[in-house]
């Protein structure tokens, strides 16, 4: 038996022994997702047991090196773990912007000291991070951002405002783009790391059309950001004034992550679930709706293959570096279509805003939430611009 | 297995790409034979070269003189065929018929495979009986007669029927027209008595026939697989043909897209290159995405078929439908973005549009396969 086959069997056994039954059910509510952090609480014992088992095994971040809290899995091993988790419907043990975004940035640009400290904190779910990128006047044109850090020797004094900061009101630390040179657009931004508990940081949740508030406005009023947190542990990633390089790299990761929502390891046809749903409610699937579902499933199942190919190519260094933009574009547009169809199948029931039967209006709130998919992390239009320029190499793009 | 080509497969791709671009390009292939009104629609000399390259028998077992390769490899050749619009009987002979004949007796294989592999004989497949692909309904009948069978009925749109030496015919040997069981596949020489062939040229300049069987006598040796048990062989043959058609469609899509992107980088209007207009850039980028996805799912389905995975059936239909949509978009955007010149016969983009239309219809269009996706998924 090959090493990989062995690994698959071991993984299967380990999951069988360590993943509680409750953690193999689909995520239904916000608190089914464990985000970690100083103020985190577990919803139940199963969530705690599953998180702790994964943390101790390095499976909150399986592909990170062991020294930084991961399991040091190779790309094929990590793929097997993903497949085996998907096969039993296992929930992610820990979700966080530290894992998805800051972690990859530190692995690429961080100092050894930063990696030792911050990656281990992330892997162990100790610190919850948020991302400070967009500003009220800087959406798609992110590089025009104005939040400014004045050089005060051993620290910066930061003033300004960020917007669309995901879960800033729950976060412990922020990784934040701050202008440190007003005369240099691209080479005048520093990628800073600082504690949200410090003086001068305040957050205000934004009420969305879904009735939920996953995003905040974040204000900085004379916030003191140290240039160093100790030996070999600067308060910024990469070089001073070169934070845009880190930000661009990270946006690629964000696009990958968002693109996963349309496909990923999902293989079941949406039509199957919808048929089951309509059978339960006694409504027949309208033939035209069935046709739409089938056409959607063709696109969605094809995209699962694209996701697999994309991941395989990225891991072997074969893919085009701008390909995440394409994945983000298609994945988010598919997710919007998926929710439009789910609303149609649900009929008037899916219009309910507060009922118990809809778990507080989940169908309609989720549907509305998806409309942001093709806006956040780079709009579909910006993605198409990037594909035009970097992949198709069209002039003037 | 990672979802991209291995080193060996990448080498095959380079070989096939060079070969098709040199020997089977649009000028010396499609246009050459079309402009001479060739009754076969392709050149037999090129088909012999296919044999010399080893392509003709690539899906057949090494024990039978083939290369023992899979659908991923056949797809690599087909993608280059699609890109160059190379007319050849590769899809009908080396993919469809070869897959069916793998299920035949040793006697049958010894009789027919050498000719197929050497490029001496051309095979066509006679399944469809109407203008739409409806393999669930087979009315052509083969009645028991002495030690053999007597074939009666009609098949339509037999692709490469005009040039074929042999036909693989799906006929009913028992049961009602819509029964799944009771199908038998036969290897039928085209020059058998009591058979007629009406040749018809299609929009893409390929040649098909409408074939009638008026009591064609066949001996028992013509049976491929089991009498009445042909549905399984037919399904295997159709799966191979569908994923092969999808692969050729990917080549057509990429060929049309590359040509179009090149064109909008050069064509100037209003004092600038039209590729600078965002109205075209966004559509071109959307097209790129669709074609990439179509190619990914095609390779996925090829891998699943080669592994014999259960999900191969579903993903083959997903791939056939997705390619039909993506390649359809590629040729339509291609003609539109070329503007007036895209409507001329002189320019190649219109040839891609015609070939795409034929491939979309062959072995089931996007609607047929989307419906199949719903059926297989249980809704």
For residue A67, is it within any domain? yes
Residue A111 lies in a domain: no
pTM score of the predicted model: 0.90
Query: Do A269 and A382 sit in the same domain of this protein?
Result: yes
Does A394 sit within 8 Å of B281, measured CB to CB?
A: yes
Q: Is the domain of A60 the same as that of A134? A: no
Three-state SS at B163: coil
Which residues of chain A neighbour B329 with C-beta distances below 8 Å? Answer: none
Which residues 31-70 of B have a C-beta within 8 angstroms of A? none
Question: Does any domain span residue A84?
Answer: yes
pLDDT at A263: 44
* DSSP element (H, E) containing A148: strand A148-151
Query: Nearest-CA residue of chain B relative to A302?
Result: B297
Q: For residue B257, which phi and psi values (nearest 5 degrees)?
A: -65, -45
The pLDDT of residue A256 is 67
The band of A257, judged by pLDDT with boundaries at 50, 70 and 90, is low
A chain contacts of residue B261, beta-carbon cutoff 8 Å: 392, 394
Give the domain CATH number at A235: 2.40.110.10
Q: Using CB atoms, pick whichever of B276, B297, B378 lies closest to residue A305.
A: B297
Chain A and chain B share a number of CB contacts under 8 A equal to 141
Q: Assess if residue A202 is contained within a domain.
A: yes
| Per-residue model confidence as pLDDT tens digits over B87-108 | 999 999 999 999 999 999 999 9
Residue in B285, B287, B294, B302 to test binding to A, most A beta-carbons within 10 Å: B285
* A288-314 per-position pLDDT tens digit: 999 999 999 999 999 999 999 998 898
CB contact under 8 A, B293 and A303: yes
The answer as to whether A257 is a domain residue is: no
Q: What's the confidence (pLDDT) of residue A264?
A: 43
Looking at the fold, whether A200 and A281 belong to one and the same domain comes out as no
Contacts of A316 in chain B (CB under 8 A): 2, 4
Structural domains in chain A (count): 3
Query: Do residues A142 and A80 both lie within one domain?
Result: no
Please check whether residues A199 and A303 belong to one and the same domain: no
Predicted pLDDT at A259: 59
Residue B122 DSSP SS3: coil
- Does one domain contain both A196 and A76? no
Looking at the fold, whether A149 and A208 belong to one and the same domain comes out as: yes
Instruction: Note the Cα A240 to chain centre separation in Å.
Output: 26
> Can you give the CATH number for the domain in which A378 is found?
1.20.140.10
pLDDT at A76 over 60: yes
B chain contacts of residue A385, beta-carbon cutoff 8 Å: 278, 281-282, 285
ipTM: 0.95
For residues A69-86, give the mean pLDDT.
93
Compute the mean pLDDT over every residue in chain B, rounded to the nearest whole number: 97
Give the minimum alpha-carbon distance from A397 to chain B in angstroms, rounded to a whole number: 6
For residue A220, the cross-strand partners are: A160, A201
B234-255 pLDDT, tens digit per residue, is 999 999 999 999 999 999 999 9
Looking at residue A322, the DSSP 8-state letter turns out to be T
| Residue A260 pLDDT level (bands cut at 50, 70, 90) | low
Q: Quickly state the pLDDT bin for A279 (edges 50, 70, 90).
A: confident
Nearest to A294 among B284, B288, B371 (CB): B371
Partner residues linked to B159 by β-bridges: B208
Domains of chain B, with CATH numbers?
7-121 (1.10.540.10), 125-228 (2.40.110.10), 232-377 (1.20.140.10)
Position A254 scores a pLDDT of 75
Q: Are residues A332 and A272 in the same domain?
A: yes
More confident site: A281 or B342: B342
- Asked if A283 and A379 sit in the same domain, the reply is yes
CB contact under 8 A, B319 and A302: yes
pLDDT in tens, A332-362: 999 999 999 999 999 999 999 999 999 899 9
Question: Is A298 close to B325, i.e. CB distance below 8 A?
Answer: yes
pLDDT of residue A281: 76
Q: Do A271 and B377 touch (CB under 8 A)?
A: yes
Asked if B9 reaches chain A (Cβ–Cβ under 8 Å), the answer is no
Is the pLDDT assigned to residue A258 strictly greater than 90?
Answer: no
Report yes or no on A256 lying in a domain.
no
Alpha carbon distance B44, B47 (integer Å):
5
* B226 pLDDT higher than 70: yes
B311 shares contact with chain A (CB less than 8 Å): yes
The whole-angstrom separation of Cα A240 and Cα A219 is 22
CA-to-CA dists, residue B338 to B256, B264, B344, B352, angstroms: 11, 8, 10, 13
Question: Domain check: are A138 and A168 in the same one?
Answer: yes
Asked if B315 has any chain A CB less than 8 Å from its own CB, the reply is: yes
Cβ separation A294–B285 shorter than 8 A: no
pLDDT value at residue A265: 45
pLDDT at residue A274 greater than cutoff 90: no
pLDDT > 50? residue A262: no
User: Which chain B residue is nearest to residue A309, measuring alpha carbons?
Assistant: B3
Give A102-140 pLDDT, tens digit per residue: 999 999 999 999 999 999 999 999 999 999 999 999 998
Say yes or no to pLDDT of B174 above 70.
yes
pLDDT tens sequence across B27-40: 999 999 999 999 99
Contacts of B272 in chain A (CB under 8 A): 396
Q: How far apart are the C-alpha atoms of B259 and B355, rounded to whole Å? A: 15
Do A378 and A280 belong together in one domain? yes
Provide the pLDDT confidence category of residue A2 given band limits of 50, 70 and 90: confident
Residue A90 domain boundaries: 3-95
Q: CB distance A302–B288 less than 8 Å? A: no
In a domain, A115, yes or no: no
Average pLDDT of the residues of chain A: 92
Q: Which long-range contacts (CB under 8 A, 24 or more apart) does B275-280 make?
A: B275/A394, B275/A395, B275/A396, B276/A394, B276/A395, B276/A396, B276/A397, B278/A385, B278/A397, B280/A394, B280/B337
A207 and A276: one domain? no
Is residue A273 domain-resident? yes
What is the rounded CA–CA span in Å between residue A290 and residue B204? 33
User: Above 70 in pLDDT, residue B149?
Assistant: yes
């Amino acid at each position: 038996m090959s090493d990989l086959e062995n690994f698959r069997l071991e993984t299967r056994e380990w999951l069988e022994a360590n993943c509680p039954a409750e953690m193999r059910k689909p995520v239904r509510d916000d608190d089914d997702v464990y985000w970690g952090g100083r103020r985190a609480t577990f919803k139940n014992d199963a969530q705690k047991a599953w998180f702790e088992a994964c943390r101790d095994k390095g499976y909150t971040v399986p592909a990170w090196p062991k020294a930084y809290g991961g399991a040091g899995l190779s790309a094929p091993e990590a793929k097997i773990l993903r497949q085996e988790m998907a096969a039993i419907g296992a929930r992610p043990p820990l979700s966080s912007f530290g894992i998805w975004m800051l972690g990859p940035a530190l692995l690429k640009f961080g100092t050894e000291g930063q990696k030792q400290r911050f990656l281990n904190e992330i892997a162990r779910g100790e610190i919850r991070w948020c991302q400070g990128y967009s500003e009220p006047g800087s959406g798609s044109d992110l590089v025009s951002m104005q939040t400014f850090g004045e050089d005060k020797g051993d620290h910066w004094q930061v003033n300004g405002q960020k917007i669309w900061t995901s879960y800033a009101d729950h976060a412990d630390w922020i990784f934040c783009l701050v202008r440190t040179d007003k005369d240099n657009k691209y080479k005048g931004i520093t990628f800073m790391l600082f504690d949200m508990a410090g003086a001068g940081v305040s957050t205000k949740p934004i009420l969305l059309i879904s009735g939920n508030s996953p995003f905040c406005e974040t204000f900085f009023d004379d916030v003191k950001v140290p240039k160093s947190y100790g030996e070999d542990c600067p308060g910024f990633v990469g070089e001073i004034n070169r934070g845009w390089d880190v930000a661009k790299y990270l946006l690629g990761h964000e696009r990958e992550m968002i693109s996963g929502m349309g496909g990923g390891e999902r293989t079941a046809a949406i039509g199957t679930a919808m048929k089951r749903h309509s059978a339960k409610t006694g409504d027949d699937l309208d033939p035209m709706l069935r046709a739409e579902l089938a056409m959607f499933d063709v696109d969605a199942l094809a995209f699962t293959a694209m996701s697999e190919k994309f991941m395989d190519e990225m891991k072997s260094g074969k893919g085009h570096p701008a390909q995440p933009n394409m994945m983000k574009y298609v994945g988010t547009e598919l997710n919007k279509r998926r929710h439009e169809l789910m609303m149609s199948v649900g009929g008037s029931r899916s219009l309910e805003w507060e009922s118990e039967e809809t778990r507080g209006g989940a169908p309609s709130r989720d549907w509305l939430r998806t409309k942001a998919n093709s806006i956040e992390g780079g709009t579909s239009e910006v993605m198409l611009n990037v594909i035009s320029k970097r992949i198709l190499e069209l002039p003037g793009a | 297995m990672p979802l991209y080509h291995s080193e060996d497969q990448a080498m095959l791709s380079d070989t096939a790409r060079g070969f098709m671009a040199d020997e089977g390009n649009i000028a010396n292939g499609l246009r050459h034979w079309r402009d001479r009104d060739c009754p076969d629609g392709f050149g037999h000399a090129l088909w012999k070269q296919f044999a010399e390259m080893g392509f003709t028998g690539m899906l057949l077992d090494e024990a039978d003189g083939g290369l023992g390769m899979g659908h991923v490899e056949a797809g690599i050749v087909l993608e280059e065929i699609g890109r160059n619009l190379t007319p050849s009987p590769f899809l009908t002979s080396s993919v469809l018929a070869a897959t069916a004949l793998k299920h035949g007796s040793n006697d049958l294989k010894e009789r027919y495979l050498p000719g197929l592999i050497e490029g001496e004989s051309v095979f066509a497949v006679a399944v469809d009986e109407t203008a739409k692909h409806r393999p669930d309904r087979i009315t052509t009948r083969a009645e028991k007669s002495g030690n053999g069978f007597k074939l009666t009925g009609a098949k339509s749109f037999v692709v490469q029927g005009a040039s074929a030496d042999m036909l693989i015919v799906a006929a009913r040997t028992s049961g009602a027209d819509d029964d799944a069981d009771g199908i038998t596949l036969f290897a039928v020489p085209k020059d058998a008595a009591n058979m007629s062939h009406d040749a018809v040229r299609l929009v893409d300049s390929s040649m098909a026939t409408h074939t009638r069987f008026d009591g064609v006598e066949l001996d028992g040796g013509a049976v491929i697989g089991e009498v009445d048990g042909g549905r399984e062989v037919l399904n295997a043959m159709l799966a191979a043909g569908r994923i092969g058609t999808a692969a050729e469609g990917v080549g057509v899509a990429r060929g049309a897209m590359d040509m179009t992107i090149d064109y909008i980088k050069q064509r100037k209007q209003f004092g600038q290159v039209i590729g600078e207009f965002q109205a075209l850039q966004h559509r071109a980028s959307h097209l790129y995405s669709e074609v990439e996805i179509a190619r990914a799912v095609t390779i996925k389905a090829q891998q699943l078929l080669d592994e014999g995975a259960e999900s191969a059936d579903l993903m083959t239909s997903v791939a056939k439908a997705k390619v039909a949509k993506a390649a359809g978009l590629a040729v339509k955007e291609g003609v539109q973005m070329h503007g007036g010149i895209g409507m001329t016969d002189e320019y190649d983009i219109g040839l891609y549009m015609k070939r795409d239309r034929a491939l979309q219809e062959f072995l089931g269009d996007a609607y047929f396969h989307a419906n199949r996706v719903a059926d297989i998924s249980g809704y």
